[in-house]
């Protein structure tokens, strides 16, 4: 399996376009999306049209924003700007995109030894930030690789043969050679709303044969995305934060 791993696209069509053009000439067998296709941004239908129609085997799961935008849940736990954007999205989805969003499976999903989840394997709304938390998850699940999103922070946590857990925040572009004796909990970062103070779209390519994960960052037209958010009448902060990657 050589898979493109994306997460937290958040209705940012420009960022998704930049990611797709970066991987155009790479060999990709599968496309994994760890949820939050929509929310925050102003281009939900553009993002969903791309993700629905893309060639290749698709392994998708839903995120918390998808659940609300699909009308499967209310946004009670959301902060006000997130809630406003999720409900705005709900009212603007095309028929096929609403149907697609409603049908997205909830994680965890297991594929060839790789587990996919949005927040954590046992709670799609849970944020995994710390080594301590990663250690709990790596003790509960024995998949060699668990991929997750939700925090919008690219990171590699690992547990080795001596049960030593460590975590590395990924800065910029980097390739990790994984160890077959270890197990991993990996976040590709966010395509549409990075939060590690790097505004470039973040994604990864996982190669199960070579056992490598490559992290990428691509610049995109942030101003265009911001203009669309402001024009849609969505909260200004959702546009502004894209400048800083926060």
Q: How far is the CB of 85 from Fe ion (least distance, A)?
A: 11
Query: In terms of CB distance, is 36 or 196 closer to Fe ion?
Result: 36
Q: How far is the CB of 237 from Fe ion (least distance, A)?
A: 15
Closest residue by Cα to residue 129 from 162, 154, 160, 165: 154
Cβ atoms of 65 and 39 within 8 Å: the answer is: yes
Query: In terms of CB distance, is 64 or 158 closer to Fe ion?
Result: 64
Q: What whole-number distance in Å separates Cα of residue 78 and Cα of residue 12?
A: 19
- Polymer length in residues for the chain: 246
Give the CB-nearest residue to Fe ion.
36
Query: In terms of CB distance, is 30 or 124 closer to Fe ion?
Result: 124
x/- binding map, residues 36-75, to Fe ion, per CB under 5 A? x---------------------------------------
Side by side, the strands of the sheet bearing 174-177 are 57-60, 30-33, 2-6, 201-207, 212-218, 174-177
Per-residue DSSP letter, 108:
P
x/- binding map, residues 4-23, to Fe ion, per CB under 5 A? ----x---------------
Q: Which stretches of the chain bind Fe ion, using CB under 5 A? A: 8, 36
């Amino acid at each position: 399996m050589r898979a493109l791993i994306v997460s937290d696209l958040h209705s940012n069509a420009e960022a998704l376009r930049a990611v797709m053009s970066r991987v155009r000439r790479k060999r990709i067998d599968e496309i994994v999306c760890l949820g939050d296709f929509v929310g925050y941004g102003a281009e939900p239908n553009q993002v969903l049209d791309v993700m629905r129609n893309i060639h290749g085997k698709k392994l998708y799961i839903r995120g918390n924003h998808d659940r609300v935008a699909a009308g499967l849940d209310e946004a009670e736990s959301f902060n006000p700007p997130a809630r406003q954007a999720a409900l705005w999205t709900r009212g603007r989805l095309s028929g096929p995109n609403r149907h697609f969003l409603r049908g997205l499976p909830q994680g965890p999903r297991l594929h060839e030894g790789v587990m996919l989840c949005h927040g954590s394997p046992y709670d799609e709304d849970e944020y995994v930030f710390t080594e301590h938390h990663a250690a709990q998850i790596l003790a509960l699940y024995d998949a060699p690789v668990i991929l997750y999103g939700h925090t919008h922070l690219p990171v590699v946590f690992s547990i080795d043969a001596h049960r030593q857990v460590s975590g590395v925040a990924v800065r910029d572009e980097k390739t990790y050679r994984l160890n077959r004796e270890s197990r991993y909990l990996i976040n590709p970062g966010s395509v549409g709303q990075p939060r590690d103070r790097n505004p470039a779209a973040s994604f990864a390519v996982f190669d199960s044969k070579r056992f490598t994960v490559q992290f990428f960052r691509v610049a995109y037209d942030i101003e265009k995305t911001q203009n669309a958010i402001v024009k849609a009448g969505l909260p200004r902060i959702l546009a502004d934060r894209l400048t800083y990657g926060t």
